[in-house]
Homo-oligomer: A and B are copies of this chain.
Amino acid sequence: MHILTKRWICPANSGKPGRMIPLSHQSPVSLSACHLAKAIDTIGDRWTLLILRSALFGVRRFDDFQRELGAPRTVLSGRLKALTQNGILEKRMYKTEGKRARPEYVLTKTGMALRPVLIALTQWSDDCLSQGKPPPLSFTDAASRQPIKVAFVDTSGRKVPPSQMRVALRR
């Protein structure tokens, strides 16, 4: 039916018709087999994303999430449970001197691995959504103090321009 017969290639879209992603009537991968779709099912929800935002900023306690997000407690409870079950947050007991233990929700390794996603989203917002407003946060390299961006890199660690990126169906 289309390009997929041999191998599915997705060039960059520069706005010029010739370089546009070719029209297709169906994605190359079914929703049920698509890893991206699975990720969307797991964290692609407004409250869940807002919780992850706060978590990346160091928020860990139920009432801190609740106060900051203004989410109904029942909803927050449900989302934290789901994130815990999916291995993105870990619920653990935090004990301080003299006080009794309290639960806290901490990002697991899997949860921390979402950082590039959320930072890429932040930079998209900085670049495309904010009309003139300067970004309140800056991301920098600890050593050089230069600004950091999210971008495509090859195996040697060199930046690859988006126009050079190709998507192919695994054989």
Interface residue ranges, A against B (CB under 8 Å):
2, 10-13, 15, 20-29, 31, 33-42, 44-46, 49-50, 53-54, 56-61, 64, 67-69, 87, 104, 106-107, 109-110, 112-122, 124-130, 133-144, 146-160, 162, 164-170
Contact = CB atoms under 8 A, between A and B. Distances in A.
- Give the interface SS of chain A, mostly helix, strand, loop or mixed: mixed
A170 B136 contact: yes
A95 to B, nearest CB: 13
B120 A116 contact: yes
12 contacts: A28-B136, A31-B69, A34-B136, A35-B125, A41-B46, A44-B44, A139-B167, A142-B164, A146-B155, A148-B160, A150-B153, A153-B153
Given A129-B35, A143-B164, A154-B141, A113 B109 contact: no
A39 B124 CA distance: 8
Contact of A60 (B23, B33, B134): B23
Contacts of A140: 165-166, 168
A162 B64 CA distance: 26
A23 B58 contact: yes
A115 to B, nearest CB: 7
Given A57-B10, A120-B120, A138 B64 contact: no
A130 to B, nearest CB: 6
A164 B144 CA distance: 10
B124 A59 contact: no
B116 A152 contact: yes
